[in-house]
Structure 1
Amino acid sequence: MASLNVYSVLVILFLTCGAVMAAKESDQIIKENNCETKMGLPSVLEAFMSIFETGSISNKCCGELVVLGKVSHSALVKRTLENHLFKDLIPVTIIAKSIHTWNNCLPLIDSPSSSA
Structure 2
Amino acid sequence: MGFPCVLEAFTSIFKTGSISNKCCGELFVLGKVCTLENPLFKYVSPATIIAQSIQTWNNCLALIDSPSPSA
**1:52: how far off?**
2.5
Q: How does 1:1-116 map to 2 (within 5 A)?
A: 39-70=1-32, 74=33, 76-80=34-38, 83=39, 86-87=42-43, 89-109=44-64
Paired with 2:25 and 2:9, the residues of 1 have a C-alpha distance of 11
Number of residue pairs matched by the alignment = 65
**1:63: how far off?**
1.8
Over aligned residues, Cα RMSD in angstroms?
2.2
Structure of higher RCO (CA pairs closer than 8 Å, 6+ residues apart): 2
What is the letter of the counterpart of residue 35 of structure 2? V
1:109 and 1:77, CA in 2 relative to 1: closer, same or farther beyond 3 A?
Answer: same
* 8 Å CA contact retained: 2:12, 2:19: yes
Gaps of 5+ in 2: 66-71
Q: Give aligned-pair identity as a percent.
A: 66
Structure with greater helix percent: 1
* 8 Å CA contact retained: 1:47, 1:61: yes
Q: Provide runs of 4+ in structure 1 moved above 4 Å.
A: none
Return the TM-score normalized by structure 1: 0.46
* 8 Å CA contact retained: 2:35, 2:41: no
1:64 and 1:93, CA in 2 relative to 1: closer, same or farther beyond 3 A?
Answer: same
Gaps of 5+ in 1: 1-38, 111-116
Paired with 1:53 and 1:104, the residues of 2 have a C-alpha distance of 14
Return the TM-score normalized by structure 2: 0.68
